[in-house]
Chains A and B, each alone.
Chain A
Amino acid sequence: MLKADRIGLVIVLASLSAIAAIAYLVFDYQHSSRLDNIRSQGVSLVRALSGVPFEQLAPGGSQHGVLQVLQHGADDDDFAYVSIVDNDGRAVSELAADGLIVPAARIPAEPSAWLGETQLGLLPKQRKIIEFHAPLLESGELQGFVRLGYYYPAFGLEMQQLSFFAAVALPVFLLVPLFYFLLRREIRPVREASQEIGRLMDGESFRRLEITATGELGDFMARFNHFIELAGSRIEDLQQNQKRLITSSKLLTYRKNRIETVLETLPEAVLILDESGTITFANQKLAAMFGVSQDVILEQPPRQWCDNADILQLLAKYSNDGKGRNFTDTIRFNLETAANQAIVTKTYPLFSPNRPSSAIGTLIIFRDETQEALARQARADFVAHLSHELKSPLNVLGLYSETMLTDAGKTEEFRIEAANVIADEVGRLSTLINGLLSMTQIENGSLTPDRTLVKLRDVASAAFEEARNSAGDRNYRFEFDAPRELNPVLVDKDLIRIAITNLLSNAVKYNLDGGEVRLTIEETDDAVQIRVADSGIGVSDDEAAKIFDKFYRSDDARVQSIGGHGLGLALTKQIVDLHHGSLSLNHDREQGAEFIINLWKETTAVKQAI
């Protein structure tokens, strides 16, 4: 709208300028034609007067002669003055318009300039005058000059011309706005279409423009609407396609994520090769197995992240022509990065769901079977240990029973010795078998502790006395320190007794002459601690790391020289674990070792029970 108004203003200004220009040209024409008129009149009159005898022009006295006549004839607004001057320029006779003082004569000296015209700039604010002058001659003698002055025609509008100009300007002035409004009415549909398009663009929708127009504009609007409809339907198609694409892209992304999540969740390390043998997927576990990032596996050639010749050979088999990929393969190897790590790879060809006959890639699964291998080894070790532990006493029993049948074995002395040895070996076997049974029961969960409120001091005291007796006549100092007011503890009495007995048995077995065996029980707010300390051969750091392992026996000769199955501490640890307690070893002592059983009290239950 503002724009339209500005155009209107420009049109009005242009029309005014046109009127002004026309007026100027008319005035200019009028002015120059009047000046020409004055010139021809003045020249002809001054020539005529120069031919009149001087006496007639200046008769003297109060007579004006010819000038008088001229004044009457010269009834013209432009007439200024007529003056007859003598040779010296003095006025002899003159006649002037009302209120005008005839300016002093400026007579040219050169005869050639005697006849001519001069413009006289009079005083400011006075009209300019144009003077025609001619010499007055008589018989060839210069008598004087005749000067004829006219006002310079004025440049401007005169009252009588006003109506003419009004008549010319008015239609121009009226027609211009009329044209303007007509024009505006003609272009209104275009303007409306423009606004409509603007609204459509704001609303981002495509529809027909409801604008009525006729003629060429009407045709244009019809074509334009057709174009809009075509473009609209095309865009709608595109939008539909885009929606379909977005949906299918989301579905693909979801499927891809789902598959990758499954592959990442698998407990095994996974590698997927395409049909050319290029690695297209590697899960986090594979990256961790080789100690690199997933990107490195995807982007770098295999030898950059893998040192193992077996794996490189395996991957090479699937690259290039990939002829070797149509079979399932199993390879066992150890990674150099982790010693004793047993990795088993299985490869499976991936077949296209649409064409089951053609493989589209290979799936390689890296399974870390280290734990299984260790478990297998542990099982084998266990059986070997067990057979050894069982066969040693059986060996002695066999030898004695066999010898008793021979002559050498029939002596009284040998019979007594055999009875003692057999009793010892049976005791050893019995301890071994009991320990194994308890341990097996605890390990497979068939042994549930029968927890009752137990006076720990009584149990410990009984075990302590048993240990003191087993020491026989060995020169050991036994010390028992447990407060009498010890609160009962909720434990399995028999199992705890086995645990304490085992610790005390070791303290006696691995002690030194004149040594000390000490059992201490301490109670705090939330736990009871049973400490079994000795001043024996002690435990080294290496031994401490394995001392609770099943069948572990130190290589130390002093330990080897003492009988044992390597089950006592393992069983004790299992019993304490079963009670959710802890078994620790304090071996940083100058002499001997101290084992500490820590049992948590179920304080509230105990106090309520009491």
Chain B
Amino acid sequence: MKRIMIVDDHAPVIRVLRLGLEEAGYEVDSASNGSECLLKLCDALPDFLVTDIDMPRMSGKELCMAIDKQFPNRAFPIIVLTSRTELEHRDWTRNMDNLAFMEKPVSVRRLVSLIGRTLNDVEQPTGT
């Protein structure tokens, strides 16, 4: 079963996404901010990472940069949920591979479909 890490400071968001993704057959882990997520990554790497940007302690941007530094050859894709559509708000991802943006408001269905397609591209999903 593929493991997906969700990072968001808003508990209801994690709750809903967890429901949707678990229903789609994924194992879901969560963190309420970037630093908490980094700690969890040290234990085990997920197959997929979904993160918000505006979070206390460590933002999504800082988290991505830290991951890029700590795991330069990471295999898991990252999806950043953002309300910012301007290109300059995405400048910092220029040198990062395997990273995509999804604009808010987010749809669970679309997220599940994007994750499914992305993982399919890498290898055939073992889930349903």
State whether A403 touches B20 (Cβ < 8 A).
yes
CA distance A391 to B105 in the complex (A): 6
Comparing A62-70, A394-402, A494-502, A532-540, the segment that makes contact with chain B is: A394-402
Interface string of B1-32 (1 = CB under 8 A from A): 00000000110110111011011000000000
Q: Known contacts A399-B13, A561-B56: does B19 contact A409 (CB below 8 Å)?
A: yes
Known contacts A396-B13, A408-B23, A414-B19: A560-B104 contact under CB 8 Å: no
**B106 touches A (CB below 8 Å):** yes
User: Are the C-beta atoms of B109 and A402 separated by less than 8 Å?
Assistant: yes
Using CB atoms, name the residue of chain A closest to B83: A391
Bound-state Cα–Cα, A399 to B108, Å = 6
Taken together as a complex, chains A and B put the C-alpha atoms of A388 and B83 apart, in Å, by: 5
* In the complex with contacts A384-B84, A560-B56, A560-B57, A403-B105 CB distance below 8 A: no
Q: Is the CB of B12 within 8 A of A406?
A: no
A398 lies within 8 A of B56 (CB): no
Is B55 part of the contact surface with A, judged by Cβ < 8 Å? yes
Minimal beta-carbon separation of A516 from chain B (angstroms): 24
Other-chain residue from B56, B84, B85, B106 in contact with A395 (beta carbon distance below 8 A) = B106
Whether B107 pairs with A408 at a CB distance below 8 angstroms is: no
**Which residues of B lie under 8 Å from residue A339 when comparing CB positions?**
none
Indicate which residue in A384, A388, A390, A406 contacts B20 across the interface (CB closer than 8 Å): A406
Which residues on B sit within 8 Å (CB–CB) of A396? 10, 12-13, 16
Q: Which residue of A lies closest to B53 (CB)?
A: A388
Whether the pair B10, A392 counts as a contact (CB closer than 8 A) is: yes
A384 to B15, CA, bound (A): 27
- A354 at the A/B interface (Cβ < 8 Å)? no
In chain B, what residue has the closest Cβ to A383?
B86
Contact A408 B20 (CB under 8 A): yes
> Is B54 interfacial (CB 8 A cutoff)?
yes
B101-117 contacts to A (CB < 8 Å): 104-109
Asked if residues A557 and B56 are in contact (CB atoms below 8 Å), the reply is yes
Say whether A357 faces chain B, with CB atoms less than 8 Å apart. no
**Interface bin, chain A:** 20 to 34
Interface set, chain A 395-423, CB cutoff 8 A to B = 395-400, 402-403, 406-409, 414, 417, 421
B56 CB contacts on chain A under 8 angstroms? 557-561
* A387 on interface, CB distance cutoff 8 Å: yes
How far is A560 from B104 in the complex, measured between Cα atoms in Å?
19
Chain A residues within 8 Å of B106, by CB: 395, 398-399
Which residues of the other chain, B, contact A407 by a CB distance below 8 angstroms? 23
Provide the bound-state CA to CA distance between A183 and B47, in Å.
141
Across the interface, do B15 and A417 meet the contact criterion of CB distance under 8 Å?
yes
Most chain A beta-carbon contacts within 10 A, residue among B81, B84, B89, B105:
B105
Chain B residues with Cβ below 8 Å from A398 are 105-107
Cβ–Cβ < 8 Å partners of B12 in chain A: 396, 399-400, 417, 421
The residues of B that contact A391 with a CB separation of less than 8 Å are: 83, 104-105
Q: How far is the CA of A409 from the CA of B83 in the complex (A)?
A: 25
A166–B54 Cα distance when bound, in Å, is 144
How many A-B contacts are there with CB distance less than 8 Å? 77
Q: Are B13 and A395 within 8 A (Cβ)?
A: yes
B20 to chain A, nearest CB (A): 6
Contact (A402, B10) CB under 8 Å given A387-B84, A414-B19: no
Number of interface residues of B (CB under 8 A): 28
Q: How many Å from the CB of A548 to the closest CB on chain B? A: 21
Report yes or no: A408 in contact with B19, Cβ–Cβ below 8 A.
yes
In the complex formed, the residue of B with least CB distance to A389 is B83
Q: How far is the CB of A268 from chain B (nearest CB, A)?
A: 30
Interface class of chain A by DSSP: helix
Q: Across the interface, which residues of A come within 8 angstroms of B13, CB to CB?
A: 395-396, 399
B52-107: which have CB < 8 Å to A?
54-57, 81, 83-86, 89, 104-107
Shortest C-beta distance, A553 to chain B (Å), equals: 9
B40 to nearest A CB, angstroms? 18
Across the interface, do A388 and B23 meet the contact criterion of CB distance under 8 Å? no
Docked Cα-Cα span, A408 to B20, in Å, equals 7
Check A406/B23 contact, CB under 8 A, given A391-B104, A392-B104, A399-B17.
yes
Given contacts A392-B104, A394-B105, contact A399 B55 (CB under 8 A): no
Closest Cβ of chain A to B42, distance in Å, is 20
> In the assembled complex, which residues on chain B have CB atoms less than 8 Å from the CB atom of A414?
19
Nearest chain A CB to B38's CB is how many angstroms away? 15
Given the interface pairs A398-B105, A399-B105, A402-B109, the reply to whether A387 lies near B83 with Cβ below 8 Å is: yes
Beta-carbon nearest neighbor of B22 in chain A? A408
A384 proximity list for chain B (CB < 8 A): 84, 86, 89
Give the complex CA separation of A408 and B19 in angstroms: 7
A561 to B81 Cα, complex, angstroms: 18
Q: How far is the CA of A408 from the CA of B86 in the complex (A)?
A: 34
Q: Are A403 and B16 in contact (CB under 8 A)?
A: yes
In angstroms, Cα B3 to Cα A126, docked, is 174
Please list the 3 inter-chain residue pairs (A to B) with the smallest Cβ-Cβ separation, ordered nearest first. Answer: A560-B56, A391-B83, A398-B105
Which chain B residues have a beta carbon within 8 Å of chain A's beta carbons? 9-10, 12-13, 15-17, 19-20, 22-23, 33, 54-57, 81, 83-86, 89, 104-109
What is the interface of chain A, defined by CB distance below 8 A to chain B? Answer: 384, 387-388, 390-392, 394-400, 402-403, 406-409, 414, 417, 421, 557-561
A-B contact pairs, 27 of them (CB 8 A): A387-B83, A388-B54, A392-B10, A392-B54, A394-B105, A395-B104, A396-B10, A396-B12, A396-B16, A399-B13, A399-B16, A399-B17, A399-B105, A399-B107, A400-B16, A402-B107, A403-B16, A403-B108, A406-B19, A407-B23, A408-B20, A408-B23, A414-B19, A557-B33, A560-B9, A560-B57, A561-B57
With A394-B104, A417-B15 already in contact, 13 other A-B pairs whose C-beta atoms are closer than 8 Å: A384-B84, A394-B105, A395-B104, A396-B10, A396-B12, A397-B105, A402-B109, A406-B20, A407-B23, A559-B56, A560-B9, A561-B9, A561-B57
